[in-house]
Structure 1
Amino acid sequence: MASPKTTQRDTFPSDPLAAFSERTRDWFTRSFAGPTPAQTAGWPVIATGANTLICAPTGSGKTLAAFLWGIDRIASEPERLGEGVKLVYVSPLKALSYDVERNLRAPLAGIGAEVSVGLRTGDTPQKDRQAMLRNPPDILITTPESLYLMLTSRARDILTDVEALIVDEIHAVAPTKRGAHMALTLERLERHVATEADDGEGRSESPVGRPALGATGPTPGRSTSVIQRIGLSATQRPLERIAGFLVGPGRDCEIVDAGVRKEMDLEIVVPVEDMADLGGVNVQPVPADADGEPQLPGPGAGAPVSGTPGGIQMPGDTQPHNSIWPAIYPELLRLVREHTSTIVFVNNRRGAERLAKRLNEMNAEERWEEELAAEGTAAVETAKDEGDDIPGPPGPPEARAPAPLDRYPEIARAHHGSLAREEREVVEEMLKRGDLPCLVATSSLELGIDMGAVDLVIQVESPKSVARGMQRVGRAGHELGAVSKGRIFPKFRSDLLECAVVAKRMRSGEIEETVIPQNPLDVLAQHIVSMVAEPETELSVDEIESVVTATEPYKELSREQLENVLDMLDGRYPSERFSELRPRIVWDRAAGTVRGRKGARQLAVTNAGTIPDRGLYGVHLPDGRRVGELDEEMV
């Protein structure tokens, strides 16, 4: 199939708010000094009904650029409120979904719109899901996997009137199998809406499609989409490829490039004089856990073991090694204390928990030392005033009572995907208000959550890519025009080299080229089972092929590859070793049709998505409060 037609505009109306209703214009002018470049360029394009990709840096207002037109149009048709979902917002992160839902309250209240907003993620209670079926929202905020599950259940009935779809942080999923999964979900939603429109009102799936939300008029060469698709992306290259991923081959998409390079104050911090000689004392070997990670009995990753000031010996090594962590900890604590709110990014959940714990311990120890020193000074002054003997200096630290950790407020908290939703929301709000000096996070805070007062981002170890580094450092100075301040701490010599290259390219904006995976057949198998999961559903192979090849990841899927997947799902395995595996579908080769076997729907629902499935155990405090989950390996 042909690549999507992409266009980039150079001229825009002098008043980007002109097409909005009066009450929307009034709210915006009361609330903001003026539109951002992403909004100035994006609103006129979105108003035409065209598929649109908005590329802009963090904090540029692109989320409001995507939402405001849809809110204005829905509010302008009060007779249609409550009749079904009209606008769908898809976010790759649950945390971002909750953040956007909260941020929508201000424009909805300010405009005075009676537009309802619903949230559907993996955390949504079953009773709330059932309530949504009875009273569908006008705007649905969801994740790729939850949208897939809705299409695989009767919840798809509330999606028949969807007119616009926003995909946020699209660059984060495009180069992954999760992106391929989402692309198929979006195309299935497209066909679902088109089919219902055709059955209900006699409208066919024409090249022009239905008018988007309040489109201001016909646009030559609009798109072949029934649903207007709006993608939001950080700076990526090539943008045409991201646009193609958004809409699929053969559809038009207008690119709004407001990707003004964000100013960065970026430095690499090496906390030792020579990374080839970390110093310290050799230590005994440390056993490995299920992941091959050292099991550290100290208070944090790389913390001194058995009272030694040095480092750790990795499992399986015959020679002991030293750790750079004892040099990193004090520098991290110093930087945290010098700033209002700091996010420290690490590359795994275990590291986030350990680092947060160690920072809290070090902060308590230093505060305790300061109090003891102050008490000693006060005792000396009192003795001088009263003519008593001058008390001697306190004993060495190891001879004194340990610091009372519960005496001082936590300076750092951890944030990652295994935390319970309630815990995540608490720490996010604390950081936004400036009540939490430091949040140690994994990629869970990498994307567009509004972090408010953050003025420093620290990355421990290389972020592994230029785009990821820019995304993370962009969490600091989140406002438009603000400088993003970042510090990168390498952990070993080769990491220092990688950090230097990444930092240089971050400064120059040399981002890696986005590569979209082609034909991931395991993802395709999931969707085929889901498409025919309902007992009465029967699709032709041609229909399945039409849906699948209308997506960018599968545009070159051959008929032979598709039939091989159908063979596998129908139980025609290449070896007798797989004969015990139960077939999932029935493929009638003579009729060219496919239908699901008994249990297909349950299989589709319980095996959704590409995020690795792990056995998780809930962690609860004695009072019953849930704090998060642990992997089965750790348990």
Structure 2
Amino acid sequence: MIFSLLGKKIQDLISQRFKEPTLVQRLAIPKILEGKNLLIISETGSGKTESAMLPIFSKLIEENYKPISVLYITPLRALNRDLLERLIWWSQKLGIEIDVRHGDTSSYRRRQQAEFPPKILIATLETLQPILVGKKMREHLKNIKFVIVDEVHEVIDSKRGVQLSLALQRLSLISNFQLILLSATVSEEEKVIRAFGLGKKFEIVKALEKREKEIKVIYPSSLPKDKEISEKLLIPLSSASRLRKVLELIEGSQSSLLFTNTREFAEILGSRIKLLARNFKVDVHHSSLGKEARVLTERKFKQKEIKSVICTSSLQLGIDIGHVDLVIQYQSPRKVTQFLQRIGRSGHAISKKIKGIIIATNEDDIFESSIIAKKALNFELEKIKTYEKPLDILAHQTIGLLFDFPNSSIDFVFSFFKKNFFYRNLTKQEFLQVLKFLESIGLIFIENGKLIKRRKAYEYYFSQISTIPSSKKYKMINLLDKKLIANLDEEFVLLNVEKDSNIIVKGEAWRVVDIQEDKVFVEPSNQIEGAIPSWEGELIPVSFEVSQDVCKLRQKIYDLIEKNGKDFVLNFLKKEYPIDENCARKMVEVIEKQEEIPNDKKILIEKEGKIVVINLCFGSKVNETISKILEALISSRYFVKFLIRKDPYRIIIYFENPVDINFKEIFKEIKKENLEVYLDLILPNSKIFEWRFVQVAKRFGLIKEDADLSKSRVRKLIEEFRYTPIFAETLNEIKTEKLDVEKTKKIFEKIKKGEIEIFEKKKLSKISKIGLEQFSDISFFGKEEKELIEIFKKRILETKLTFVCVNCGKWYERYLIKEIPENLKCRICGAKLIAPLKVVNKNIFNLIKKAKRKKLNEKEAKKYNELKEKAEIFMYYGKKGAIALACKGIGPKTAKRILSRYYRSEKEFFKALLEEEKRYILNKKFWKV
């Protein structure tokens, strides 16, 4: 038996924890004991961690290694915590010191680790950066014999992965260690090894148990009882049906995870479930919640205090939460590898079957989910796209190397980077340009071919140990009732929010009235067309391959209906794809209504009124690339206002007025050889370039981490540093993360050759309309003007004012406006000259006393006259006057103007006040000195 290869102490402990080894343990333990470098690929909950750590524990007992002997690196702080809890049992029993290091580790704990290092140190990716340059810690790192990198697939496609790869390489210069990479399912194992394997000889342990997978895509049909849910929560009937189905699935399982694609929708779904079923035991878990809240939810779920957790990718990784027998994915998971990871959490033991259900929300969702579900069953995974020589990470790690090896030669540092997978194509010229830039901003100086770090380098290095963009929050405030609706991410605001734009937040549509400093003022809107959801930036891209397969399936259904009829197609779909009857019928219904089918070889452009929909099946990144080019060409050639939106299957353009633009000709004139030139001209003028430029500039050390720059200042910096590595890297970052230039080139080449045809129609088809109706889950039926005024009225009537007697200055009382007594008089002198005030202090009463003695200066006289004017308004207009004065930005002069008008109804009066308050909000920023 495999466990017999381990030391006696370990074997004794194993008998208390395991009955028998899992597949990954059987395959990995002997190889680790032999000292081999491994990439271990296995599902969540398969015993990966123990497969790596048990043989290492065994070796630590046998050999008297100096600390730090083992470095265990994780991509998430939560995994650090979870891992420590799991390994501490073993370490305590074996007498092996173990500790954890992350960004929140106290300075005292860090000093303790430097003075008394543990045998095993668990650290995050980012924590490795300061550890590598700490004098004492660096000495301890020289003793490392084993490095384990957990969940390595999570970072390979990001700058975090590049930073990790270089950190491991720097570590390898001072210690010789056995390297073990742990990963969930990945499509390109060799690429993972090349990225993180340090050129070492590696073996792959692929331990994927043959677990039965029960996967189903469902589209819940509406039942009579769903109408009650719809009316209670003010959501569409279809949303109510899905919510009811979610509750049924949770109730029918022992324990379940309900995954959503965004944090906001997790909150929306959580709040709806709690409103609908108050005693339902369910919690929400995502990365924006505090650590205490997340840990509490994990504990409650593990101890069966709650039946389900609504979560995002925060529970996608291997955090131990106990038994899960069902995984529900709300809406398409968008990515095969992500879906496999999520459903892999189901099944208590490795022998139990995987059970996952996708709840599709519209026709696009059904098609996409069907393709992803089938690919998951067939284990067809997306390819990995990695960064190519990111220059900001190069700059930071150059400074890091100069901490490791002061006064290093240019040739030494260049050769270091050239050995790294991510920088294999780095040229000497590119490298020298980065060095010259670092010298120009005072981080290094170059002397006789040597690189010498300057004093500023210390602050720069430690301020940029994380590659995750820093972002402030904007408060989104409802103008009608002044309530905080949500905190918006800076990136979303800078890229999408401007005056009069429509956005979707917290499941409702809103119109932006104004933006002031860190506040976004909005009012409810019934304009869904072109509205941007606040979660847009969170959505992972749908691959080119998935999108192509969706459109191939559309065409196949069309062809089969013509050849064999509808019933045959329904049976075919249910047999070939893991879908229910409703999904199959929805798919057929869509295609039946189409004259032309946009597919992998056909672009369909449809126009109706002010809307143009370009149906093209190229996935998120290619469609984003094409939309950028179209946006620039339309803007430069036609003097028209428009909004452009895109998804993996179409580009939608909303024009202010109907237009006559020949899009077919525009597509045909775009040449693949000019594509990069177009993008290099277009992108620097975009909002996304401004946002990304600031982030890259921070990583280069040009801008301080806490800098808050105006738009005009950012624009000046972009022009000033146009011909520098910062500018070049900003382009590289956008092209890598948001676009797919190479695939887009191939598309335009195929258009030129006639391999992809373009068709135009003068009416929107069902497939086009699906894109316009994509926000089917928002809790909004259109707030009419009457309802908006009612919200505003409610806020004003519930405002509390203080009523002060201006005649004697000795009496005051506070009332809610709706509770103001009729014929209010001063209870001391009986006068009716009473001023309704929002704020009262003793200065008011002193002012009235001084006025009676006629000893007011010019400034005081002005204040007193305003006070008296308010009292006169209340005396003349009564409660109506108090209402006007309670509004934001309405003083005596404006109040008199509004009150002097004739209003046919109370609604008209409150509407006039609301419009005046909005005008004040808009003009307020221009009054500031």
The correspondence for 1:136, drawn from 117, 129, 134, is 117
Contact conserved, 1:58 with 1:475, CA < 8 A, in 2? yes
The correspondence for 2:250, drawn from 319, 322, 336, is 336
The correspondence for 1:37, drawn from 4, 20, 23, is 23
User: Structure 1 CA distance, aligned partners of 2:452 and 2:84?
Assistant: 38
Partner amino acid, structure 2, of 1:91? T
The correspondence for 1:266, drawn from 215, 219, 240, is 215
| Pairing 1:238–2:107 present | no
Aligned to 1:607: 464
| Pairing 1:181–2:172 present | no
Contact conserved, 1:265 with 1:486, CA < 8 A, in 2? yes
| Pairing 1:532–2:419 present | no
Alpha-carbon distance change, 495 to 585 in structure 1, aligned in 2, over 3 angstroms: farther
Give, in angstroms, the shift of residue 444 of structure 1.
1.0
| Map 1:206-217 → 2, pairs under 5 A | none
User: Structure 1 CA distance, aligned partners of 2:348 and 2:161?
Assistant: 26
The correspondence for 1:170, drawn from 152, 161, 168, is 152
User: Structure 1 CA distance, aligned partners of 2:233 and 2:18?
Assistant: 56
List runs of 5+ in structure 2 lacking aligned partners: 476-486, 494-517, 520-929
Give, in angstroms, the shift of residue 475 of structure 1.
1.1
| Pairing 1:358–2:309 present | no
User: Structure 1 CA distance, aligned partners of 2:293 and 2:457?
Assistant: 35
**TM-score of the two chains, using structure 1 as the length reference:** 0.71
The correspondence for 2:68, drawn from 85, 88, 91, is 85
Aligned to 1:587: 446
| Pairing 1:19–2:8 present | no
Partner amino acid, structure 2, of 1:235? T
Contact conserved, 1:432 with 1:454, CA < 8 A, in 2? no
Deviations 1:396-423 (A, max 9, x none): xxxxxxxxxxxx4x62222122222222
Percent of pairs identical after alignment?
A: 30
Alpha-carbon distance change, 336 to 549 in structure 1, aligned in 2, over 3 angstroms: same
The correspondence for 1:549, drawn from 413, 418, 442, is 418
Give, in angstroms, the shift of residue 147 of structure 1.
1.1
| Pairing 1:596–2:453 present | yes
Deviations 1:220-240 (A, max 9, x none): xxxxxx211001112222222
Aligned to 2:80: 97
Q: Secondary structure at the match of 1:436?
A: coil
User: Structure 1 CA distance, aligned partners of 2:98 and 2:474?
Assistant: 32
User: Structure 2 CA distance, aligned partners of 1:190 and 1:342?
Assistant: 43
Aligned to 1:347: 261
User: Structure 1 CA distance, aligned partners of 2:274 and 2:227?
Assistant: 23
Alpha-carbon distance change, 72 to 240 in structure 1, aligned in 2, over 3 angstroms: same
Give, in angstroms, the shift of residue 509 of structure 1.
0.9
Q: Secondary structure at the match of 2:350?
A: coil
Give, in angstroms, the shift of residue 270 of structure 1.
0.9
Q: Secondary structure at the match of 2:265?
A: helix
Aligned to 1:205: none
Give, in angstroms, the shift of residue 427 of structure 1.
1.0
Partner amino acid, structure 1, of 2:461? A
Partner amino acid, structure 2, of 1:459? Q
User: Structure 1 CA distance, aligned partners of 2:433 and 2:474?
Assistant: 37
Contact conserved, 1:587 with 1:595, CA < 8 A, in 2? yes
Partner amino acid, structure 1, of 2:242? I
Give, in angstroms, the shift of residue 144 of structure 1.
0.6
Deviations 1:341-360 (A, max 9, x none): 22111122222222222212
Partner amino acid, structure 2, of 1:259? L
Contact conserved, 2:227 with 2:240, CA < 8 A, in 1? no
Deviations 1:446-471 (A, max 9, x none): 11112211111111122221111000
The correspondence for 1:455, drawn from 303, 325, 331, is 325
Contact conserved, 2:159 with 2:387, CA < 8 A, in 1? yes
Alpha-carbon distance change, 631 to 560 in structure 1, aligned in 2, over 3 angstroms: same
| Moved >4 Å (runs of 4+) | 629-635
Aligned to 1:7: none
Contact conserved, 1:269 with 1:487, CA < 8 A, in 2? yes
Give, in angstroms, the shift of residue 100 of structure 1.
1.1
Give, in angstroms, the shift of residue 584 of structure 1.
2.5
User: Structure 2 CA distance, aligned partners of 1:429 and 1:280?
Assistant: 36
User: Structure 1 CA distance, aligned partners of 2:59 and 2:96?
Assistant: 10
List runs of 5+ in structure 1 lacking aligned partners: 1-14, 194-225, 282-302, 312-322, 365-407, 572-581, 619-628
Aligned to 1:558: 427
Give, in angstroms, the shift of residue 472 of structure 1.
0.6
Alpha-carbon distance change, 441 to 48 in structure 1, aligned in 2, over 3 angstroms: same
Give, in angstroms, the shift of residue 567 of structure 1.
2.2
User: Structure 2 CA distance, aligned partners of 1:541 and 1:345?
Assistant: 49
Aligned to 2:778: none
User: Structure 2 CA distance, aligned partners of 1:362 and 1:86?
Assistant: 53
The correspondence for 1:504, drawn from 365, 374, 382, is 374
Aligned to 1:228: 178
Partner amino acid, structure 2, of 1:343? L
| Map 1:182-581 → 2, pairs under 5 A | 182-193=164-175, 226-249=176-199, 251-272=200-221, 309-311=234-236, 324-364=238-278, 408=279, 411-533=281-403, 537-571=406-440
User: Structure 1 CA distance, aligned partners of 2:377 and 2:34?
Assistant: 36
Give, in angstroms, the shift of residue 543 of structure 1.
2.2
Give, in angstroms, the shift of residue 308 of structure 1.
7.9
Contact conserved, 2:77 with 2:124, CA < 8 A, in 1? yes
Contact conserved, 1:123 with 1:421, CA < 8 A, in 2? no
Q: Secondary structure at the match of 2:357?
A: strand
Partner amino acid, structure 2, of 1:184? L
Give, in angstroms, the shift of residue 146 of structure 1.
1.0
**TM-score of the two chains, using structure 2 as the length reference:** 0.49
Contact conserved, 2:9 with 2:94, CA < 8 A, in 1? no
User: Structure 1 CA distance, aligned partners of 2:122 and 2:188?
Assistant: 28
| Pairing 1:123–2:104 present | yes
Deviations 1:326-381 (A, max 9, x none): 332221122112222221111222222222222122111xxxxxxxxxxxxxxxxx
Partner amino acid, structure 2, of 1:358? R
Partner amino acid, structure 1, of 2:209? V
Contact conserved, 1:450 with 1:478, CA < 8 A, in 2? no
Compare relative contact order (CA 8 Å, sep 6+) and give the higher one, 1 or 2: 1
Give, in angstroms, the shift of residue 280 of structure 1.
9.2
User: Structure 2 CA distance, aligned partners of 1:462 and 1:587?
Assistant: 53
Alpha-carbon distance change, 87 to 346 in structure 1, aligned in 2, over 3 angstroms: same
| Pairing 1:76–2:62 present | yes
Q: Secondary structure at the match of 1:523?
A: helix
Q: Secondary structure at the match of 1:104?
A: helix
Contact conserved, 2:233 with 2:272, CA < 8 A, in 1? no
More helix by share: 2
Q: Secondary structure at the match of 2:140?
A: helix
Contact conserved, 2:331 with 2:361, CA < 8 A, in 1? yes
